[in-house]
Every structure is written in C-alpha cells, then in structure tokens.
Structure 1
Amino acid sequence: MASGINLVLIKGSKGYDISELVSEIKWSGRKGSSSRSIDVTLLDDEDRSRAGIEVEKGHQCIFCYDGKELFRGIIMQTKQTHKKTMTFKAYDNGIYLANNKDTFEYSNKTVEQIFKDICKRFGIPYSKASSSNFKIPELTKSKTTAWDALCDAMSQVYSSTGVRHYIDSDKGSMRLQKRQDNIKQWVIETGANIISYTNTVSFEKVKTRIKAVSSEGKVVAEKKNTSLEKSIGIMQDIIQPDEELNKGQLNNLVAGTLKEKSTPERTLKIEALGITDVISGIGVCAIIPALGIKTTYYVDEDSHTFSDNYHKMTVTLNLANDAEYDRDWTKTQRGVSGGGNGNYKVGDVVNFKGGYHYVSSDAKSATGGKRSAGKAKITYINKGAKHPYHLVGGAYNNLDGNCNVYGWVDSDTFS
C-alpha cells in the first residue's frame, strides 16, 4: 500500500477499508470536463473476492491522502489482468451533469439560478452557488447535456461581464464558484519542487481588435491593438454584451477583452512533486529563472500519482492573463474602499506590514506561517469578503524586496 493513502469502498450503507489492497492511485481532472476521476490499481485474486467490486451495483469510494479527503464518487469501470491486478475507474458527482440530457429553456436567469435548477432537476446535491447579478437574457438548449447547458450559461456570463465561473465537486456535493476567488498561494519552482517542464508560446488564437455589437447588429464599442496589427495583421472578434451596460462599462468590457485576447497563449507543462491543492481551476505561481518566468498561471489539466511512498503531479498551465487586472470589466475604475486604507484598485503596489494570508477571500483560518513584510501588488479585490485583497509579494514578481505574501489578506494588513 502507498503510504498516506486511505481508500474506502461504499456498498449500500456500509463502508469497507480496502487501503491495504492499493498499489497505485491516479487522481486527475481537466478544464472543460464535468468531473474529476480516479484510476485505482489493486492487488487482486481472479474471482474478485478480495475487493468485491461490482459496477452494476453502484458501488462508490472515498479517497483520502494524509487525512484529507480528495475524492468521492461512483465506480464506473473495472478491469482485471493476468498479472493478478484489478483496476477501477470512478468519477465524482459531476458525471451526472455529463450523463443527463434534457431540453433547457431559461429567460432572464442568473447562472446561480440555472445551476440550482439543473441540480434539483437531476437530484444532484450542491453545497455552494456563487451569486451573480447578471441575468442571462435567453438560454435555450435542446436535447443536450446538463453540463453543456451550464457551460453555455457560464460562457455568457464571462462574455458579458468578464467574471469567470467553474463547477466542481466537494465531498459529494457540487459547487458553482467564481474562478477569481480561488487563486491559491502555492508556488512551484525549479530547484525546489519542479522535476521537468515544457514551455509553449502560441499566437494562433490572438485577436487584434474587438467589436461589441447589440442584438440588432449595431456596433456599440470597439477597440484595436494597432501596434500588434502592424506585426501580424488584422484578426477580429465580435462580442455581444449585456444591453444594460452604460458606455463606460462597454468600453471597459471591450478593453479588457482585447487585453486578454491580444496576449499570446502561453502553456507550461510541468512535472513536479505533488501538492494536493494544485488541481484544474486554481492558480499557482510558477518560477523558472532559466525562462524568465515568475508569474501566475491557471491549472488547466492535472494528474496526480500516488504510489510507493511517493506523490508526483503533472500539470498543464495557461498564463492567467486576468491575474493583473480586475476581471469584472463592468465595474468602474475607482477601486474599492478598504477599512481606512483609502481607495485601492487592482494593480496598486502597497506596503504589506507582515502577517498571515489566506487561500480564499472567505477562508476561516490562515494558511502557512507569517509572511514577511515589504512591497506587494494587489491582484484581486473581492469587496465585502472577510479578506478582501489578494496580494502577491516582491519575492514572486519584479518588485523590490523579499515579501513572500501570496494570498488573500485583511484590509488593515497593508498601507
């Protein structure tokens, strides 16, 4: 059995610890997939009596590592070989979003309302649904999967407001979350935990100009990157924003969209020592001095392997173009008032006083030890949260000093 692994098989209302049979577990997920999965290799005898797993009976499993639950889901596939091993594959609750089809019709509903309705429709438990003020004018999906309908809803919110959502499963319940609320403090670095890497830069999806058009086809705002067009020519994209946005908000939306889409796609594939919190949907700071890389990326795909007292991970990262400015393009640029510190906005450089940071803006307890004082940059603001500001210290960017804050902080911890 690999050290630290605890695997429980659920048959009906009873749980059976089969950790001693485990040879290896691969736990993985990727952007665009409705669910995460595990592939488990067990020591086996040919009649399956040691584990007694039968997919037809809806057996489920719970996988924990070092005391922390990482996965809970239903076993969907088993396989046996002449080598006296048995493998099974299980998926979390997100599989029900991909395996249920229906016709979906919504009018003037938020993504939160659509998410809750779909979960209730198919009896899928949920524990969190981040609120959104934007109402999707119309969403009609005929004879398609629940996952496809939700992806369409999240895409419309992103196109109209710049706010990105994602869905995951935690302890058997689905969650709808804002992606910007889940920028973690984890750092992966050569000479520390990176084993190998491959870096790719691509201009294939770059856009040089953006037009916003109304439902009648009228251009209501546009912006272009003239210097980039001199190099690669015109590559245009069209968006249809929320019709309730004013002129200033439209200009912010178009400018923000162009800023992201005119940036080349940078993909970094890394093999590193495993960190269980580093999974698809979160952000990490990658530091590779040989490539001049010291910035934030989103995890698009991850695969964690647990075996022989060893945990390693392979992650595919995409540059977080939205980590340097406020993703909610419909907001004004005045900033957010913060507990006597005055008005701050994304991108401001502040002096962190030293202290603790948190992995999310609403976390109940701090993570890691005390962070050192010094210059830091505000990369996110979540107005009204317990810890409303996300700071990245000078140790992880081009600011002076060795401030190692990398997470959400209270409003009185900097000036």
Structure 2
Amino acid sequence: MIELFLVKPDYMMAIPVSTVTWSGQRYQAARKIEANILYTDVGLHFYQQVIEGDTLLFKWKGNELFRGTVFNRSRNKSGQLTLTAYDMLQYFLMNKDIYNFSGKRLDEILLKMCKDFEVPHGSFVNTKERVGKIIDQETSLYDIALRAMIDTHKASKRKFHIYSRLGKVHLTELKKQDIQWVLEVGNNIIDYTYDTSIEETATRVKLTSGEGNKTVTAVVTDSEGKKQFGVIQHFEKVSETLNKSALTKKEKRFWTRKKESKRS
C-alpha cells in the first residue's frame, strides 16, 4: 500500500496520491520521489497545500522508504499536481565551499559540513584515519565527502558510505553482505521501467593542466563509441599541475565511467 504524508513540525497529514516514483542513480548521491496527487477544491475532493520546502514522507506497506524536501511542483489543467522531493544528500550536491580539513577524519569532515549548512544528521562513527586536505577551490560538499571516503579506504582498506534515512544524513561502514537479494517479476516486483540514455555519455575526453605555454593536454577517444554515437566530448581543466603521463592516467579512469550509457 502506497502512503504519502506531509510532515510539519507539529503534525503529519496523509496526502491522497495516485502514483509515487522512488528513484536514484548510481552516480547521483540523492534519492528522490515524484508523486502525482489530485489537487483541487472542487466537489468533495479535499486538498492539503504543499509548497517548496515542505517535507514529504513516503511509505510502502507501512515501511518508511523516503523522507525529503519538496524542490519542484508542477500542476496541469485537470488539477493533477506533481511533486518532486529529494532527500538530505541533495544539500550536499547543491552547496559548495572551500575548507581547510587538513588532518581531519572523515567523520569530522562530515560533521563540520552538516553543522555549517544545517543539514540534519545522525551520529557518525569514528573513522580513525586522518585523511583531510585543504580544499582551496569551490567544491560541492558531496565531492569533498567522496574524496575523504576514497582516501580513508586507501589508508585503512575500510569502505564507508553516506546516505539519507529518516530525514538525516548517516555514515556507515560497508561490509560484506551475508544476504543476497533476488528480485523476481511476479514475486517481489510488481512493475518496472528500464531506460537507457547517452545524454551523459562521452566518446572523447580531453583534459588540460597548467597555464600558457606550459599547458599539457591529453585526449582519450573511444573509437567504438564514436562510431556508434558520434563525437561527444567531455572537456575539463584540471586544477592540479600534472605531466602528460599522469594526466592520461587520470583521464582514462574518468573515461571508463563516462563512456557508459546511463541506465535507470
């Protein structure tokens, strides 16, 4: 059973809903829902005003799957209102800043950013390794956290993951799963949609480093992808100074991910 609630500081109210789509992407931190509700004051239909900034809670069969903030509203002539809400990690994606995190642990970095941007959070475990660096260029909070998680893994071989649950950002250590989930149509899948896209695909990646006559350029091309999709170039000027060999290695790592078609 689908349940959608409007959550206010002093009360919670159910919202009549026709469909709810709960989604996310592998390389996007935040999860979102798109809810279609009947929004009209004609006849016997009752509606509850929902605006940007409100909190929505989505349940399936009594279990909370999502809690987040309304960012978009869309209403059509027939009275159907579509609400789009994102979880707390959307604030990590949208906000950028510079920091001196030199000598800080991953959990200390997350705690500082959550407090600075007033993002609700749970208790963070002590990650032990001091991997923080000086972030001297405007960078999203999520990229800062991702860099700290990668450096923590390099230093300790321990993998950590940040996620949003019950309206708060959490940090957990990823361990080997003892349970393997199996999805089966007709059993625990009642419907699904499979989409593919090349909108975020690149068949050529070009990176540059340095300034003026000391500029170093490296280009990697996916010949097979270029033949199929044409030339779709991703260009990026790298902030750190790298020689061509190091730049090419960085480029290949990025390109391996970028050349794949997006699936959701």
Structure 2, unmatched stretches of 5+, are 195-252
Structure having the higher Rg: 1
Kept in 2: contact 1:104–1:149 (CA 8 A):
no
Mark the CA change 1:105 to 1:133 in structure 2 (over 3 Å): closer, same or farther: same
In the alignment, is residue 74 of structure 1 matched against residue 78 of structure 2? Answer: no
Map of 2:55 onto structure 1: 60
In the alignment, is residue 8 of structure 1 matched against residue 2 of structure 2? Answer: no
Distance of 2:73 and 2:3 partners within structure 1 = 19
Distance of 1:178 and 1:29 partners within structure 2 = 21
* CA RMSD after TM alignment: 3.3
Distance of 1:32 and 1:104 partners within structure 2 = 24
Q: With the length of structure 1 as denominator, give the TM-score of the two structures.
A: 0.42
Mark the CA change 1:65 to 1:82 in structure 2 (over 3 Å): closer, same or farther: same
Map of 1:111 onto structure 2: 106
Mark the CA change 1:74 to 1:135 in structure 2 (over 3 Å): closer, same or farther: same
Structure 1 residue 197, shift from structure 2 partner? 11
Q: Which moved more, 1:114-123 or 1:185-194?
A: 185-194
Distance of 1:138 and 1:183 partners within structure 2 = 35
2:26 to 24, 27, 31: 31
Structure 1 residue 132, shift from structure 2 partner? 2.0
Structure 1 residue 76, shift from structure 2 partner? 0.7
Mark the CA change 1:141 to 1:156 in structure 2 (over 3 Å): closer, same or farther: farther
Distance of 1:42 and 1:190 partners within structure 2 = 27
Kept in 2: contact 1:115–1:150 (CA 8 A):
yes
Kept in 2: contact 1:46–1:84 (CA 8 A):
no
1:91 to 69, 81, 86: 86
**Count of matched residue positions in the alignment of Structure 1 and Structure 2:** 198
Task: Please identify which structure carries the higher helix content.
Answer: 2
Over the matched positions of the two proteins, sequence identity in percent amounts to 26
Give CA-to-partner distance per residue, 1:55-101, whole Å, 9 cap, x none.
Answer: 2xx21111111111111111111101134311000111112212222
Structure 1 residue 176, shift from structure 2 partner? 1.0
Amino acid at match of 2:34: D
Kept in 2: contact 1:22–1:43 (CA 8 A):
yes
Map of 1:172 onto structure 2: 167
Distance of 1:11 and 1:192 partners within structure 2 = 36
1:96 match: secondary structure: helix
2:35 match: secondary structure: strand
Alignment of 1:130-145 (within 5 A): 130-136=125-131, 138-145=133-140
Structure 1 residue 301, shift from structure 2 partner? 7.7
Mark the CA change 1:123 to 1:190 in structure 2 (over 3 Å): closer, same or farther: closer
Kept in 1: contact 2:6–2:55 (CA 8 A):
yes
Structure 1 residue 146, shift from structure 2 partner? 1.2
1:40 match: secondary structure: strand
Structure 1 residue 16, shift from structure 2 partner? 1.6
Amino acid at match of 2:11: K
Amino acid at match of 1:151: L
Map of 2:115 onto structure 1: 120
Mark the CA change 1:42 to 1:73 in structure 2 (over 3 Å): closer, same or farther: same
Map of 1:155 onto structure 2: 150
Kept in 1: contact 2:109–2:132 (CA 8 A):
no
Distance of 1:190 and 1:67 partners within structure 2 = 22
Structure 1 residue 193, shift from structure 2 partner? 5.3
Mark the CA change 1:131 to 1:183 in structure 2 (over 3 Å): closer, same or farther: farther
Q: Which moved more, 1:131-140 or 1:146-155?
A: 131-140
Amino acid at match of 1:144: T
1:51 to 42, 48, 64: 48
Structure 1, unmatched stretches of 5+, are 199-260, 266-299, 303-415
Kept in 2: contact 1:10–1:59 (CA 8 A):
yes
Kept in 1: contact 2:106–2:132 (CA 8 A):
no
